[in-house]
Amino acid sequence: MTIRTDAAYADELDADDPLAHFRERFVVTDPDLIYLDGNSLGRLPAATATRADELVRREWGDRLIRGWNEGWFVAPEQVGAKIARLIGARPDEVIVADSTSVNLFKLVVAALRAQDRRMRILTDDLNFPSDIYVLQGAIDLLGQGHELEIVPSPDGIYGPAADLRARLDERTALVTLSHTAFKSGYVYDMAELTAAAHASGALALWDLSHSVGAVPVDLNGANADLAIGCTYKYLNGGPGAPAFLYIRRDLQERLQNPITGWMGQKDLFQLALNYQPAAGLRRFLTGTPSIVSLLLVEPGVDLLLEAGMTRVRAKSMRQSEYLIGLWEALLAPLGFTLNSPRDAHRRGSHISLGHVEGLRIDLALINDLNVLPDFRTPDNIRLGIAPLYTSFRDIHTVVMRLRRIVEERLYEKYSGAAPVVT
Ligand SMILES: Cc1ncc(COP(=O)(O)O)c(C=O)c1O
């Protein structure tokens, strides 16, 4: 994509953008704030604010306990069925529950138990650290001597796809990877790696946290076994909103939830004293769902379904190419590096820019220039593009502000001490 670096060009691109009007469907209280952190916490959809009021005042305030029979009980499956449409799954293959980390734990333990004589788990060092901790905890809990192999990325940007394929063998129980890597934004070829895993008899489990609502995912097309993901990023579900899990239909009756609780029990209101798993995905529920947060996931999912993932991806690619073009022309000469894949097809919807003064520049952006990106060690300023509300002008402005911070050395007033949440 050949670009111009003037602001008028950004405005031309916005004028030409078929999704531009979706920005009005979000609550924007500070029009001057450039928000590029939708890959961590999505913006608040206006419909969510309305729904929250109705949910709390009418469904909870007025309907009280009757709410369970008026939609709450089936909400994990109903919201899951909508998310399924974004990730190429059947409606009964996705359910909303717990956090991403807890869902990963449930699926990993279930998968390892189903693969009883295979003792190896493969992942990579681009995976989200919580996922690695969960794997370590699951291995420890099972106490059967499973080994975790963390295959290194060749450059910290691209995933070690060929190396992973080469290491798959008859000892491998499970391959688990972030489909889109949280730091570099690298995207694995899900179909290819899942097929390679299956050829060796392993199961494939995908973390879709940085993919869902940002890049097209086709779990059924890839014949993926298992997946998990967050709803508070590109789905705009709200802080700490519950996560989702996917289990391919033919595996559901074979796998057992290791955290057995009454919400996963067959005929739960019989209140029998012996656990018997419910049919289908409900067996992967444990305790009472957090209904308020769960139902507030739905309006954000509806917005993405309305926009359509093909159009969302097309805009995300155009915006990422535009940002990379601006980086090349205006930021690379100031010492910024591109820490994301150059190849658009292997890149998600965020771009990481490195700089030796990365953290101090990030602090100046946030505190002095009204831009909210996020920061990931050692030097990555992560710029998240959420096509439903990020404009081309936002991208142009952030690049100009990054230039200013370096040219005027505005970062120098910061010591480099990181805040608790970056
Ligand atoms: C890729 C990825 N996996 C897992 C998690 C953990 O999610 P949770 O805190 O909901 O368990 C995150 C959180 O940001 C993430 O980015």
| CA count, 13 A, side-chain hemisphere, 251 | 24
- The strand pairing partners of 174, in sequence order, are 121, 203
In the reported structure, the alpha carbon of residue 185 is separated from the centroid of ligand 1 by a whole-number distance in angstroms of: 14
Report the chain's mean pLDDT, rounded to a whole number.
97
- What strands, in cross-sheet order, belong to the sheet with 337-338? 337-338, 350-354, 380-384, 374-376
Q: Is the CB of 96 under 6 A from ligand 1?
A: no
Mean pLDDT calculated for residue range 372-400? 95
- For residue 234, the model assigns a pLDDT of 98
pTM: 0.97
- For residue 354, the model assigns a pLDDT of 96
Q: Point out the residues that are catalytic.
A: 128, 207, 232-233, 382
Q: Is the CB of 243 under 6 A from ligand 1?
A: yes
- Both tokens of 36, joined, read 């590029």
DSSP string spanning 101-122?
Answer: HHHHHHHHHHHHHHTTT--EEE
* DSSP 8-state assignment for residue 336: -
Residue 286 contacts residue 263 (beta carbons within 8 Å): yes
Mean pLDDT calculated for residue range 70-97? 98
Task: List, in sequence order, the alpha helices (H) in 32-86.
Answer: 46-54, 75-86
Which residues fall within 8 angstroms of residue 304, CB to CB, at 6 or more apart?
A: 86, 213, 234, 235, 312, 388
Q: Give the relative orientation of helices 75-86 and 298-307 as an angle to the nearest 10 degrees.
A: 30
- The strand pairing partners of 84, in sequence order, are none
Give, for ligand 1, the residue of 40, 123, 130, 382 to mutate: max count of ligand atoms closer than 8 Å to Cβ: 130
Summarize pLDDT for 207-259 with one digit per residue, the tens: 999 999 999 999 999 999 999 999 999 999 999 999 999 999 999 999 999 99
Mean pLDDT calculated for residue range 311-332? 98
Name the band, by pLDDT with cuts 50, 70 and 90, for residue 99. very high
In the reported structure, the alpha carbon of residue 230 is separated from the centroid of ligand 1 by a whole-number distance in angstroms of: 6
- Give kind and range of the element (H or E) at residue 141: helix 129-142
Which residues fall within 8 angstroms of residue 135, CB to CB, at 6 or more apart?
A: 108, 121, 123, 148, 176
Q: Which of 342, 304, 410 is nearest to 157 (CA)?
A: 342
- Does the pLDDT value for residue 422 go beyond 70? no
Q: Is the CB of 101 under 6 A from ligand 1?
A: yes
- Does the pLDDT value for residue 343 go beyond 80? yes
In the reported structure, the alpha carbon of residue 110 is separated from the centroid of ligand 1 by a whole-number distance in angstroms of: 19
- Give kind and range of the element (H or E) at residue 165: helix 161-167
Q: Is the CB of 230 under 6 A from ligand 1?
A: yes
- For residue 417, the model assigns a pLDDT of 74
* DSSP 8-state assignment for residue 377: T
In the reported structure, the alpha carbon of residue 419 is separated from the centroid of ligand 1 by a whole-number distance in angstroms of: 19
Name the band, by pLDDT with cuts 50, 70 and 90, for residue 159. very high
